[in-house]
Structure 1
């Protein structure tokens, strides 16, 4: 589960949303260390706060049903068993400038939006991908989750533009391209390959503003031959369509994303 909990929202609603899903691992954004500790205590999770996150210091944290054996700058190595490690990374990339708003307001062309997005977030995502490269190369199950604050090139496609989605524009967003070029798969798009039928919006849960640009900016990426995506869905407000699973009192302006995966046994297993 990846979940931007929104600064200063009530923990009761956040706890309720996590309880409704009962995930093994949660990547949280906009979370302080004291708040993370409190939620972990409430739900009986192990936790790790990434207080050295380069883009947003003291901003991201992990909850895990499994012991967190090797915390890192961007996440942790978890051991499901002594022979089965998985690598988790959690990011909260820069929210501003938010290029879809500039596109909506005719302040940028798609080419300019891509250039601005590359300038803003490429320096943030590159060290994360570099830190994960060894795990990906060694075929360790690896998960990159978070609030990327940038849409996906898998969503702003010619088919989506023809259907009138995403301002009717095709945009090859650079951060999602950089992630997939490093061997990651977008779990939501694996489970729901039709970007027109299942846009999977995570931003924003707020409704009523006809000028708001709704989009998918919260992602779970997976890597590793043993990782198979089984399901992927969004969690949010009861009255905010199209949320896949609704939680009464859901407090955040982001829908969270939940993915269920299966892990094939390693070749050394009996």
Structure 2
């Protein structure tokens, strides 16, 4: 019965135009070699308390020496526990460490994914509030590795919950064994065996499409439709440097305050800097899609991330194509620029500032990086009238629109034509905040810094945009939280109409 049902599902998917076929499938029909229980359809591998024999199972890893993209899918149901277990893995020992990937369950009941290369390690550890596998229900986990883009796409119950840029991970598979239930440990080999049930392990030599994965889950359980921007409704976006992952006001309290700021603002898409390990928690608290470009930058979106965009260095730039609805999408880009020296501290201490030196050094650092980024995304910018572009970031720089003759009183008498804002203007981008608030004497838009009252004040965080189908309606700076603001930067929020 199980095989007939799966064949019917595969046929349905193929008829629907999703003819992606596994190169390996491991089902768990009743066999004396291991204990089985009721599976997603038919029998499943039972490694729970009722199984007398609980040794992990080892299978040949058919992706060994495969040098390209691949996908892994399985069904899990973890038993009640407070322990962390590996459920499915393929890795090769490297001294005291390993290279490869693993899927499993965290102590808190949520699942996890981990990938290790010889030098780099990446992990996704979502929250049990949104992504538990320890609730007595079956859950489908899918991991796709895109060799060309160096990306991992992660799915929970048919929904793409995260995309990670994983530079430094080789495409070549070195493991020769697929471990189901972990690896043998202890005298009986069962010490650290996954505690729960597993079913339907499938491997593919390609990246599965989101539609295929959604249909493979919906063959067993209903899925909620993806969020869409209703026609005529405004789009609200935010840029927020959250200051060391939001952890400076507490590793739990801080990220939750960040999530509250975003939720209360109504922001649909967020450009985030200094994500630093808090992205999963914040995105899960919001129920948002999550793209981690690197340790620093991330994008969170109420609407599906259809694809990622070309970017320059991952610490400084990344972007994604956001599907707003069936007819509309937007190219959304997040950025962080370094600074050559701390001119804010000099201003605070009333030290003399050589404007020519500042501009010359910024041309090398901030502006140089910005030019490289704009060169990388020039095709995205050129197509802005078809797909509008929103370009956000912490620029670590003032704006030539703010440091004028009229505002010298705020800037210790200096007028500075900062190159970064001029570069964006020359590239055809509009500064959304200054477009809505053109007079810097009336609305300064200060984002640096709400944390240090005596520090020199400046506007260094921006939301730029380009494209005939996008228009800024409102823009504001947020720096208040009912308990305590979690960052040393204010957040910028702009509301757009989208045609």
TM-score, with length taken from structure 2: 0.47
- Give structure 1 regions of 4+ aligned residues with deviation exceeding 6 angstroms: none
**What pairs up with 1:100-119 in 2 under 5 angstroms?**
100-103=344-347, 105-119=350-364
What is the deviation of 1:226?
Answer: 1.5
Contact kept, 8 Å, 1:231 with 1:261, in 2: the verdict is yes
**What pairs up with 1:48-59 in 2 under 5 angstroms?**
48-51=291-294, 58-59=295-296
What is the deviation of 1:249?
Answer: 1.8
Secondary structure in structure 1 of the residue aligned to 2:464: strand
Match of 1:151 in 2: 398
Higher relative contact order (CA 8 A, sep 6+): 1
TM-score, with length taken from structure 1: 0.86
Q: 1:126-158: per-residue Cα shift (whole Å, max 9, x none)?
A: 122123322222222101101110000110011
Match of 2:450 in 1: 205
Structure whose residues are more often strand by fraction = 2
Work out the CA distance in 1 between the residues paired with 2:347 and 2:479: 26
| Correspondence 1:186 to 2:422 | no
User: Which of 1 and 2 has greater Rg?
Assistant: 2
Structure whose residues are more often helix by fraction = 1
**What pairs up with 1:237-256 in 2 under 5 angstroms?**
237=480, 247-256=482-491
| Correspondence 1:31 to 2:275 | yes
Unaligned runs of 5+ residues in structure 2 are: 1-237, 249-253, 312-317
Work out the CA distance in 2 between the residues paired with 1:158 and 1:141: 33
Work out the CA distance in 2 between the residues paired with 1:120 and 1:262: 34
The alpha-carbon distance between structure 1 residues 169 and 15, as it changes in their structure 2 partners (threshold 3 A), is same
Secondary structure in structure 2 of the residue aligned to 1:258: strand
1:69 pairs with 295, 306, 312, which one? 306
1:225 pairs with 460, 468, 473, which one? 468
Work out the CA distance in 2 between the residues paired with 1:132 and 1:260: 23
Secondary structure in structure 2 of the residue aligned to 1:259: strand
What is the deviation of 1:43?
Answer: 0.8
- Number of aligned residues: 245
Unaligned runs of 5+ residues in structure 1 are: 52-57, 238-245, 265-270
Contact kept, 8 Å, 1:99 with 1:117, in 2: the verdict is no
